[in-house]
């Protein structure tokens, strides 16, 4: 599937807690995910740089 055919999810408050869990679930299902946060920059960076489930062979 090309990137233009993949679904996209925007998750607000996605660096921690329930939002983070949603990001991981969407990514596991093949979505391109937009991560949004207001105060959790360090956590968001860790989430962004962690391998996606698609990359885990």
* Domain boundaries along the sequence of the chain: 3-55
Please say if the pLDDT value at position 3 is more than 70.
Answer: no
Question: pLDDT higher for 14 or 7?
Answer: 7
Going 14 to 27 to 21 to 43, the CA torsion angle's sign is: negative
- Determine if the pTM surpasses 0.85: no
Lowest mean pLDDT segment, chosen from 1-10, 11-20, 34-43, 46-55: 46-55
What are the pLDDT digits (tens) for 22-57?
998 998 899 998 888 888 888 888 877 666 555 443
* DSSP letter assigned to residue 35: E
pLDDT value of position 11:
92
Rounded CA gap, 19 and 2, in Å? 26
């Amino acid at each position: 599937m090309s990137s233009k055919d993949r679904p996209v999810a925007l998750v607000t408050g996605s660096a921690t807690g329930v939002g983070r869990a949603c990001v991981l679930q969407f990514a596991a299902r093949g979505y391109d995910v937009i991560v949004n946060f207001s105060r959790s920059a360090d956590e968001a960076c860790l989430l962004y740089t962690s391998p996606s489930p698609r990359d885990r062979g």
